[in-house]
Chains A and B, each alone.
Chain A
Amino acid sequence: MISKTRLIGAVEIGTSKVTVLVGELMRGRTLNIVGLGSCQSQGVIKGGVVDYKEASACTHAAFRAAEEGAGAPVDAVYLAQTGAHLEGFYHEASVNVNAADNCVCALDIETACRLAMAKELPAGRAVVHHIRRPFRLDGRLVSDPEHLVGQRLEVGYWTVHGSEAKIGDHIHVITGFNLRVDELILSSLASGTMVTTPEERQSGVLVLDIGCGTTDYALYHDGVAYQTGVVPVGGDHFTNDLSLGLRLTRLQAEKLKVRYGSAVARSRDKQDKVWLNGDYSVGDRQFLRQSIEQITAARAREVFEVVRARLGAAFVPEQTPAGVVLTGGAAKMPGMDEAAGKVFGVPGRLGELASWVADELRDHGFSTPLGLLYFGLNSQTDRVPATRRPDSIFSSLKRILVAP
Chain B
Amino acid sequence: MSLPASIPPPSRSWKDIRQAVNPRAMSKEGHRRRTVAGLKFAAVCAFVLGGAVAAIGFYLTWQSNPASLKDAGGSLPLKQVVFSTDGVLDRAWLDRTLALPKRASLMSLDLAALEQRLLGSGQAQSVVFRRRFADNSLVAVVQERAPVARLMAQVDGEAPRLRLVARDGVVYEGVGYELAMLDRLPWLDGVRLRRSSKTGIEPIIEMEKTAQLLQTAQRLVPELFAGWQVVSLARLASDEEIMVHSTVIPEIVFDARAEFPRQLARLDYIVDFLHSKGAPPVQRIDLALGGQVPVELQENVPLKPAGVAPRKTVFQPKQRRDF
Residues of A that sit less than 8 Å from B by CB: 52, 56-57, 60, 63-64, 73, 81, 105, 107, 110-111, 114-115, 117-121, 125-128, 159, 161-162, 164, 167-168, 171-172, 175-181, 184
Contact = CB atoms under 8 A, between A and B. Distances in A.
A111 B4 contact: yes
A142 to B, nearest CB: 21
Interface in B1-27: 1-4, 7-21, 25-27
A180 B33 CA distance: 12
B45 to A, nearest CB: 15
A126 B27 contact: no
B11 A175 contact: no
B9 A125 contact: no
B10 A114 contact: yes
B29 interface: yes
A177 B29 contact: yes
Interface bracket on B: 20 to 34
- Which 3 interchain pairs have the tightest Cβ spacing? A178-B33, A175-B21, A118-B8
Given A120-B11, A178-B37, A126 B17 contact: yes
B278 interface: no
B30 interface: yes
Contacts of A161: 11
Nearest to B15: A184
30 contacts: A52-B25, A56-B25, A60-B27, A73-B33, A81-B14, A105-B1, A114-B7, A114-B10, A117-B10, A118-B8, A118-B11, A120-B11, A121-B11, A126-B11, A127-B11, A127-B13, A128-B14, A164-B12, A164-B14, A168-B18, A171-B14, A171-B17, A175-B20, A175-B21, A176-B26, A176-B30, A177-B29, A178-B30, A178-B34, A184-B15
B3 to A, nearest CB: 6
B50 to A, nearest CB: 16
A36 B222 CA distance: 101
Nearest to B17: A168
Contacts of A57: 27
Given A111-B3, A114-B7, A126 B16 contact: yes
A257 B15 CA distance: 40
A176 B3 contact: no
Contact of A180 (B19, B27, B29): B19
Contacts of A121: 11-12
A179 B27 CA distance: 12
Interface of B: 1-4, 7-21, 25-27, 29-31, 33-34, 37
B313 to A, nearest CB: 86
Given A127-B13, A171-B17, A175-B19, A60 B29 contact: yes
Contacts of B21: 172, 175-176
Nearest to B2: A107
B8 A120 contact: yes
Contacts of B29: 60, 63-64, 177
B19 A181 contact: yes
Nearest to B44: A1
Nearest to A160: B14
Given A118-B9, A181-B19, A167 B14 contact: yes
B47 to A, nearest CB: 11
Nearest to A382: B13
A177 B33 contact: yes
A176 B25 contact: yes
A107 to B, nearest CB: 5
B294 to A, nearest CB: 94
A128 B12 CA distance: 9
Contacts of B13: 126-127
A126 B14 contact: yes
Give the residue among B10, B19, B27 with the most A Cβ atoms within 10 A. B27
Contact of B3 (A81, A107, A171, A175): A107
Contact of A125 (B4, B12, B37): B12
